[in-house]
Amino acid sequence: MKLAAQLGSRATKLVLLETNPFNLLQQAGRDEAFAEVVALRDCVKIFGDRGEWEAAAERFFDYWMGAGSWQGMSGERRAAFVRALKPNLHEWDAVMGETTSVEEWATSLPPATLVVYDPGTVLPIREIAAILRAACPTWQYQEVPGAGHMAPLTRPDLINPIIRSFLDS
């Protein structure tokens, strides 16, 4: 989102997949959803600071994919996820330190913006989608029931045709 805004008119289309400008939750007074995100951030940061990456990864993965999902993965996939999660420790600072308002996003992002999300996803993402829908009614919104937060990786059969159709339009 930040890069598209900086590119201005050079970015003509934008696809946001379960987008997470979490600051919008706080700005809109969506306290329950914001508290949920803060708890996840704190978990990752606390366990990460301790070097307890497997504990952080399990909680992070189960949050986004559903309780017990971590245990259903092979040891090899869990180890890969733990490695991939480590930069997330610092990414939280950037995401949670963002101050751009929904009004600024509405005017700085391409009019041809598509927001894709699972209507059964976690509360913060559903709330962000609602905030964007209210502030940016000319954008396109695509709900993909059952896709989940990791749909670009786990359900490309659902997500890729949506993106291709949008980009080709």
Question: How far is the C-alpha of 34 from the C-alpha of 154, rounded, in Å?
Answer: 26
SS3 6: helix
- Across the range 145-162, mean pLDDT stands at 93
Domain ranges of the chain: 1-21+100-169, 27-98
Question: Tokens at residue 142, please?
Answer: 């695509």
Question: Tokens at residue 148, please?
Answer: 């989940």
Confidence (pLDDT) at 23 = 96
Residues 3, 100: contact at Cβ < 8 Å?
Answer: no
Question: Tokens at residue 53, please?
Answer: 């990456």
Confidence (pLDDT) at 12 = 97
pTM: 0.93
The 13-17 sheet, strands edge to edge: 13-17, 112-117, 140-143
Q: Which helix (H) or strand (E) holds 114?
A: strand 112-117
List of residues 6+ apart from 29 with CB closer than 8 A: none
Q: Which residue has the tokens 């951030």?
A: 41
Query: pLDDT over 90 for what percent of the chain?
Result: 93
DSSP assignment string, 108-143: HS-SEEEEEE-TTS-HHHHHHHHHHHHH-TTSEEEE
Confidence (pLDDT) at 90 = 87
- At residue 58 the predicted structure's pLDDT band, cuts being 50, 70 and 90, is very high
